[in-house]
Structure 1
């Protein structure tokens, strides 16, 4: 898939796919560590210009939002002023390129829905 999106820059680096899906930037790479090979899919959500540290703690406390199917870890990226959601998907659960793209799209959509709930933003179609 990295070749399809013309992001294969060197045979010596880890292949990474970066896709901008609406307001969410996704970064996907292959991890070969234990417990087995998996895709690491990261969703970078829109920047929060006016969010202070205390607001972030309150927001993360409702991180049990049920809209993130398949799990995921939520982080606050203080330097960039945005939330980040990371999901690991075992490679064995992804039989073809379509399922890889579906996993990326699913996390992007779920993460943005979560972002809309916690930020009070309206969901854009």
Structure 2
């Protein structure tokens, strides 16, 4: 387990440097990637239930959405492509939906799987957003 965590920390540090965020000092590396209209923020969590990659997808701002809209969308079942694969939140200060997914480090055997996990959440979250907002699923 310690080897997998060390490997993940090294990879995240390399990615932070690669994407030009090395001047931002965090105790734990945080990678911010803009993928179309979705901003992802990825970091390593060492707490229980075990070491995990925390991937957050911040969806486009909604001018007229609110907490009741979130309850309605999630209570209908949301979007089957993301069901069970993340937690949904409404960020009231920013006026946007946020989806967070935790992926155990042991489920990510290599660097490609880390990048795939980030891209998958971005795509799943955006597709879910399009379904609940009635928008066409076009990447901006």
- Quote the RMSD (CA, aligned, Å): 1.8
2:78–2:128 Cα contact (<8 Å) kept:
no
Q: Which residue of 2 aligns with 1:6?
A: 20
1:76–1:84 contact (8 Å) kept in structure 2 = yes
Query: For structure 1, which runs of at least 5 residues remain unmatched after alignment?
Result: none
Equivalent residue number for residue 117 of structure 1: 131
What SS does the corresponding residue of 1:92 show, helix, strand or coil?
A: helix
Relative to the length of structure 2, the TM-score reads 0.81
Give the gaps of 5 or more residues in structure 2. Answer: 1-14
CA deviations 1:20-58 (Å, max 9, x no partner) are: 000100000000001211100000000001224433432
Q: Could you tell me the TM-score, scaled by structure 1's length?
A: 0.90
Q: Between Structure 1 and Structure 2, which shows a larger proportion of helix residues?
A: 2
| Residue 22 of structure 1, aligned match among 22, 36, 40 | 36
What is aligned with 1:73?
87
| Post-superposition offset of 1:73 | 0.2
How many pairs were matched up? 125
